[in-house]
A and B are shown apart, each in its own frame.
Chain A
Amino acid sequence: MLRKIMFHGRECPHCKAMMPLVEKLIQETGIAVERLEVWHDEKNADLMRSFRPAIAAKCGGQLRVPTFIDPDASDVMCGEVPYETLKAWAER
């Protein structure tokens, strides 16, 4: 089964906006998306930092949220995007 991680911040408006789209993605495709909050959970924050080279390369040199990552391929997409963009990224 495909596995993805979404790093998000509790108070980040873009992350909040993406949550229903991620729910829809999970229900429609069966892709497992682990949603990990990074500002209030240091373990999740450290996990996100461990992907820093891959994330920074795609996210303006920074650890931005929301960030979607395929942890096996280190394939990264960040920011608030339309549902079709999220789905296309998750299924590739």
Chain B
Amino acid sequence: MQKKFWRCYVCNDIHWGVKPPDLCPTCRVKSAYIETPSREARTILDQPLADGPDFSRDDFRRAIETFARDNEFRVNPDPVKVESLLDGLFANEENHGLKYCPCRLRTKEFEEDIKIICPCHFPAHETYKGQEQGECWCGLFIKR
């Protein structure tokens, strides 16, 4: 069983293990962990961590589907929109170091910018919270 890095999308806690915690020990949110590349874990923790497994675009696609499966939201069923967003996320990782949301600009302040790594804590945003057909700002995740 291969260990991987997992990131809490609410508070950015990082977990190294075979499985994600059911409950985030820091923010106490359930099903909050998504598989994350080692590069992202290193940057968030600012520590020289072990290499995790390679993390391709297909891996990310699989990770967001797995992450959404146990939550009240799903990945947008519009493949054109999703692929455009993945283009942006991977371009941002290549050019700026992390998978920043393509629909928001980083401020260059680290504590602010880790809040827009995809997936972000979008259920707290006004485009999702209290909305019948809520979605994250970019539209990658939509309420079921």
Contacts and interface: CB of A to CB of B under 8 A. Distances in A.
A62 B117 CA distance: 13
A65 B84 CA distance: 15
Interface size class of A (residues with CB under 8 A): 20 to 34
Interface of A: 7, 9-16, 38-40, 45, 48-49, 52, 60, 62-65
17 contacts: A7-B105, A9-B88, A9-B103, A9-B105, A11-B87, A11-B91, A12-B138, A13-B138, A14-B138, A14-B139, A39-B95, A48-B105, A49-B108, A60-B137, A63-B105, A64-B105, A65-B105
Contacts of A49: 105, 107-108
A16 B137 CA distance: 14
Contacts of A45: 105
Contacts, number: 64
A84 B135 CA distance: 23
A7 B104 CA distance: 10
A64 B137 CA distance: 8
A63 B106 CA distance: 7
